[in-house]
Structure 1
Amino acid sequence: MSYPYDPNQPPNYGAGGYGQQPYGGFPGGNPAGPEPDNNLVWAILATVLCCLPLGIVSIVKSTSVSKLWAAGDYAGAQKAADEAKKWAIWSAISSVVIWVLIIIVYVIFFVILLGASASTSTY
């Protein structure tokens, strides 16, 4: 019978034997750098000051960055950080667009209202 290991030797669990990670090693390899910025401040500001639904998505994405990083999913953590930033930006842009549209509607409404009242004579 052929063994993939020497049965007379003790198992080498701590040094990566049997496909395991070495003690203290990272599952996805060593991280390329520090943990990415989770953009939580921007997500909260976007939620409070801008568009609520898009800001909530940004908060959910930003809170998952640290969890993914701790689990060793460095690419997933970077992707979540990028998506949190993207959703915060979209929240801010949509808020600006909505406010510009509201101002345009009010200006048109008052121009029509004032134009109609100016054209009628009270004499």
Structure 2
Amino acid sequence: MSYPYDPNQPPNYGQGGYGQPYGAYVGGPPPGPEPDNNLVWAILTTVLCCLPLGIVAIVKSTSVSKLWAAGDFAGAQKAADDAKKWAMWGAIAGVVGSILIVVAYVLFFVVLFGTAATTSTY
């Protein structure tokens, strides 16, 4: 009969799961430094460009550190990449929207003053 532990060995006090010390990553050490969470870009996108896409970027960027601390390195990298993607799309949407607003104002004033200049008041 096999025991889950050897009765002749002392117990592993202070050990986490799988015989690892508490706080150690079960899957091994992290593959490198924590990825950039792009929080600054997410906040700037939210404030200056596009609110809905910026909020999504903020949510994604704040989850990077939590996933990294939990040992989900691939999930943390994906969240960092998603935060960057949403911030970029928000910035692009903000710039395109601003250009469209300027074009609309120019066309409005050209039509308004163009017709006023051609009509005679005599």
Residue number in structure 1 paired with 2:116 = 117
User: What displacement does 1:30 show?
Assistant: 1.5
Contact 1:51/1:94, CA 8 A, preserved across alignment: yes
TM-score, normalised to structure 2's length? Answer: 0.87
TM-score, normalised to structure 1's length? Answer: 0.86
Q: How does 1:1-123 map to 2 (within 5 A)?
A: 2-3=1-2, 7-10=6-9, 13=12, 20-23=18-21, 25-123=24-122
Runs ≥4 in structure 1, deviation > 3 angstroms?
4-8, 11-14
Contact 1:28/1:74, CA 8 A, preserved across alignment: no
Once structures 1 and 2 are overlaid, which stretch shifts more, 3-12 or 107-116? Answer: 3-12
Specify every segment of 5 or more residues in structure 1 that has no aligned partner in the other structure, as ranges: none
Q: Deviation per CA, 1:68-96, whole angstroms, max 9, x where unpaired?
A: 00000000001101111111101100001
Secondary structure class of the residue paired with 2:120: coil
State the superposition RMSD in angstroms. Answer: 2.3
Identity value in percent: 65
Give the number of aligned pairs: 121
Specify every segment of 5 or more residues in structure 2 that has no aligned partner in the other structure, as ranges: none
